[in-house]
């Protein structure tokens, strides 16, 4: 039976792999963003090292799921911004493989941001994933419930998360744990990778 525990520095490769393997709307993301290493540095390490209430679900030493969160944006920005020049220099030198797919993805993130809720009312945010072979066993619900309890213990007053209309299972989980749909927006962000635009959503919960 998987157990939940706090995420640790040494979990970075396993979390980055799981995150990268599900980045394309639940599918592996090599075609979208080839470098798992760079993905981990940009989208996993800031949360793991400067976030809050980070947890993994582990069984026999294998990470089957994770939830990474932040109680606010400032700590993440202070961690990542000084490191961006070095990461982009290495990218341009080809250290992470072909340059254009990575640049294209990052530019599209800037051009087509998803909807956001007020950071004042909902300062915390999160990323969650469970490996395909472990889905349907309640791991996502256990991770999210433990994360919310941790936020409440820290006095955080609200949390938000982003998903897409296509992720029906995740949306059911969020609703079951008291989240509500705050805003939605049709976005062309995924069109080159998924074949058509996808509706991005932001869900919120008061704590």
3-class secondary structure, 174: helix
The CA radius of gyration of the chain, in Å to the nearest whole number, is: 16
Greatest Cα pair distance in the chain:
46
CB-based burial, 155-182: b 16+ in 10 Å, e otherwise = ebebbbbbbbeeeeebbebbeeeebeeb
Backbone angles phi, psi at 164, to 5 degrees: -125, 160
Q: What is the pTM of this model?
A: 0.94
Identify the top-confidence range among 109-113, 167-171, 196-200.
Answer: 109-113
The structural domains of the chain, with segments of one domain joined by +, span: 3-206
The CB density around residue 194, as the number of other CB atoms within 10 Å, is 15
Q: Helices 168-176 and 139-153 meet at what angle, rounded to 10?
A: 40
Residue 124, beta-bridge partner list: 159
The contacts found for 33-37 with CB under 8 angstroms, 24 or more apart, are 33/101, 33/102, 33/105, 34/96, 34/97, 34/98, 34/101, 34/102, 35/96, 35/97, 35/102, 37/96
Q: Distance between CA atoms of 95 and 150, rounded to whole angstroms?
A: 38
Give how far the C-alpha of residue 184 lies from the chain's centroid of Cα atoms, to the nearest Å: 18
CATH code reported for the domain at 3-206: 3.40.630.30
For 54-109, what is each residue's pLDDT tens digit?
999 999 999 999 999 999 999 999 999 999 999 999 999 999 999 999 999 999 99
Query: Phi and psi at residue 24, in whole multiples of 5°?
Result: -90, 70
Residue-wise pLDDT for 97-152, tens only, equals 999 999 999 999 999 998 999 999 999 999 999 998 898 889 999 999 999 999 99
pLDDT at residue number 76: 97
Share of the chain above pLDDT 70, in %: 100
Beta bridge pairs of residue 181: 203
Burial of residue 15 (number of CB atoms within 10 Å: 0-12, 13-18, 19+) = buried
């Amino acid at each position: 039976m998987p157990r939940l525990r706090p995420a640790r520095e040494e979990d970075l490769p396993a979390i980055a792999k799981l995150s990268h393997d599900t980045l394309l709307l639940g599918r592996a993301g090599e075609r979208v963003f080839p470098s798992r290493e760079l993905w981990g540095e940009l989208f996993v390490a800031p949360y793991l090292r400067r976030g809050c209430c980070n947890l993994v679900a582990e069984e026999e030493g294998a990470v089957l799921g994770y939830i990474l969160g932040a109680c606010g944006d400032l700590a993440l920005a202070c961690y990542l911004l000084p490191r961006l020049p070095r990461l982009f220099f290495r990218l341009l030198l080809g250290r992470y493989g072909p340059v254009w797919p990575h640049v294209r993805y990052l530019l599209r993130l800037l051009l087509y941001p998803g909807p956001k809720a007020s950071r004042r009312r909902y300062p915390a945010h999160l990323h969650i994933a469970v490996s395909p072979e472990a889905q349907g066993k309640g791991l996502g619900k256990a991770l999210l419930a433990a994360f919310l309890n941790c936020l409440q213990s820290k006095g955080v007053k609200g949390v938000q998360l982003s998903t897409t209309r296509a992720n029906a299972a995740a949306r059911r989980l969020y609703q079951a744990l008291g989240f509500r749909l705050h805003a939605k927006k049709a976005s062309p962000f995924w069109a080159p990778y998924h074949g058509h635009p996808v509706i991005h959503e932001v869900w919120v919960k008061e704590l």
